[in-house]
Amino acid sequence: MGYEKDRQIEQDEQGWDYRDGTTICSRCLSDPYLRKLVKDQASEFECSFCGWTSRKAPNSIPFNRLMEVYAGAVFQYYSHAENEAIAWDPEDEKYVGSTHDTWDLVRYVIGEPSEQEAVVQEIIDSLGDHVWCEKSPYALTGAEQYETSWDDFCNTVKHEVRYFFDSKTPDEYSEKIPVPEMLDELRDIIQEAGLIAVLPAGTKLFRIRPHTRQERCDSWQSLGPPPPDVAVTNRMSAAGISVFYAGMDPATAKAETLANLPATDQRVLTGATWTNTRPLNILDLTKLPPVPSFYARVRYDRDHLIFLREFVKSITQPVEHDGREHTEYVPSQIVTEYFRHRYRTHHNVGLDGIIYPSARHKCGRSIVIFASQDDLTPRLYPWETDRIPILSMDQASVRRLRRTRRKSQ
């Protein structure tokens, strides 16, 4: 009697009922992570659902082991409504707010982990008949907290405080990450995601410049980054700050260059291939780790990766150069300056640039390297004899490019 009582207490505490003697194989699951879990931990020789029997090697795991993983993931995101401070409407006899019964939660909210009706029903029965709601339903949690905090940061630097945003007094009652702390939080998330990489020396970069037909454009000075006094505002740099923009492939370089040239613009295009003369420390926003399965890792990690995708979308979306760029580019410019001037790797080394998804060429990658004309000058001062610029242009690659004519409207 004591054993049964202890077992019932254990089931109540864990939030699901045991299914002793039931086994499940990988064939009866559709989620890739759960399928791999079964293959890696197989200890049984017969599946209770499809009847698959193996004589040589185990092919199934106890259903209880599956529920440990499944329910463990569910309870990171959801809770029984009676355990949360969610209001009850006595007149309608239901909870106020978004709630789900177990059937809806498993089948539609989370999504069925199996195409077999018997498996899904066994999970529902194991979880029991409960009303579910989001964990901490009235609080900002997980990816939602990061996304709303980033939106708040963007709104602040675009429309309220631009140069001294770190002086903004945090709202002590807000659940959002304070604006002054957002960049440090972003730094930590990026480091955990492993987005700091090394661009090998000799990597080809492609840069194109529009210019008048009369202008001679065939030297590293004319095809490199502009002088500070003519540098215009751009995605990763404010007006007056000279940096080197390029595409990681010719098509991306051309698409980015043409994006904001009106059809009436009569300038021609000249392009060249550049290479970096040394390895560069790069923040690579195009190599985001895949978001793991709902069941795969702790919520903290998964929410960070979901947020990173929204963050990258936010700073790389297309912006028309019609005046709005002076506002819309501010958040990405601040992020760039933070990683250029404040960020240091574990070896106390700074970054040389950022690779980011092209806003104008599908699957294309653009790069900004923190290099002005001074960084590309072989001899900045008369006494310098062995100065090696960070980038080198292949003179033989310089060529005039055909500009695709836009169809008339």
Please state which of the ranges 55-69, 118-132, 184-198, 294-308 shows the lowest mean pLDDT: 294-308
Q: What is the mean pLDDT of the chain?
A: 91
Which of 344, 363, 360, 361 is CA-nearest to residue 286? 363
Query: What pLDDT is attached to residue 54?
Result: 92
Report the SS3 class of residue 22: coil
Query: What pLDDT is attached to residue 282?
Result: 97
Q: What is the pTM of this model?
A: 0.87
User: pLDDT digit string (tens) for 96-114?
Assistant: 888 999 999 999 999 999 9
How far is the C-alpha of 372 from the C-alpha of 220, rounded, in Å?
12
Q: How far is CA 241 from the centre of its chain?
A: 27
More confident residue, 166 or 311: 311
User: Confidence class of residue 404 from pLDDT cuts 50, 70 and 90?
Assistant: low
pLDDT at 21 over 50: yes
CA distances from 294 to 81, 112, 152 (A): 21, 11, 27
User: Confidence class of residue 393 from pLDDT cuts 50, 70 and 90?
Assistant: very high
Tokens read off for 337: 């300056």
Residue 230 makes CB contacts below 8 A (sequence gap 6+) with: none
pLDDT at 31 over 50: yes
Mean pLDDT value across residues 383-388: 70
Q: Where are the domains of the chain?
A: 2-134, 198-401
CB contact at 8 A, 356 and 333: no
pLDDT at 260 over 50: yes
Q: Report phi then psi at 281, rounded to 5.
A: -80, 120
Mean pLDDT value across residues 210-215: 91
